[in-house]
Structure 1
Amino acid sequence: MSKSKVNMPKELKRKCNIIIHSATGASAVAGLIPIPMSDAIPITAAQIGMIIKIGDLFDISLSEAAAKSIAGVALTQQAGRSVASGLLKMIPGVGTLIGGIISGSTAAALTEFLGWVVADDFFRMSQGEDPENIVEVASELKGSFQDVRFKKE
């Protein structure tokens, strides 16, 4: 996914990058869990932890409830993916592999996107600006996944 859209100082961007990529990696690994629908809890935990750590970086105090609320936007987008990949994981062998790949890569992309949206908004807030409109962000997220097509070979 894209990096920060705001003019964030390099060192701050580097710290955000570390936090976001740690959570993205954890989400990708959780998505590979072969048991249908079992990845939602660890993915959500990684995203909530990421949001809280980004908040700490910008001196924005977040409760776990507030972080869960922010992560809820990503979870809504993730619901369809969970159902599709969960159904694939029920097919022994190949279905488990394909479902895990889809689930892991989508969880990673969503976590990366969510992390940079949150980092941008928290940076704006630390500068006294207003955060982005969450509806516009959700539309952008949806659009980024509509651009992905599976090719027949």
Structure 2
Amino acid sequence: MRSTYKIPESVLVVIYTPELEVLLLERADKPGFWQSVTGSKDSLDEALELTAQREVMEETGIDTQVHTLTDWHLSNIYEIYPTWRHRYAPGVTQNKEYVFGLCVPRSTSVTLAPREHLRYQWLALKEAADMCFSASNAEAILQLQQRHK
């Protein structure tokens, strides 16, 4: 049974091209807030890779089975923004985020979930990192050059 509260474990999926352009999405609930694909586990027993696959499909329409989804074996613990804390159980103030990467051709079609995102854009690494509102998202993007082989 799914809890009425969000689980404070989530994924961050940096979607990028072989040329190291990064896909960023603008949040519908916070216009001007740009980010990579993110999302919480739907259940305590949902595997993180399945969470990443589901979130990428829901938010962009990109099928991770066609491309290589990579677990970066990196996690971050961060303070949940006060504006979103009501989604979590009382007293929950931190979230653990697990980072994945997904390399796709630049020609990959992106279909946004209109309730979640307004627009998308492909940006160079530094420009994408500078545009992210989340520090952990920006840091993951900047690590991409060393991780992409």
| TM-score, normalization by structure 2 | 0.30
Q: Which has the larger radius of gyration?
A: 1
| TM-score, normalization by structure 1 | 0.30
Question: Structure 1 or 2: larger strand share?
Answer: 2
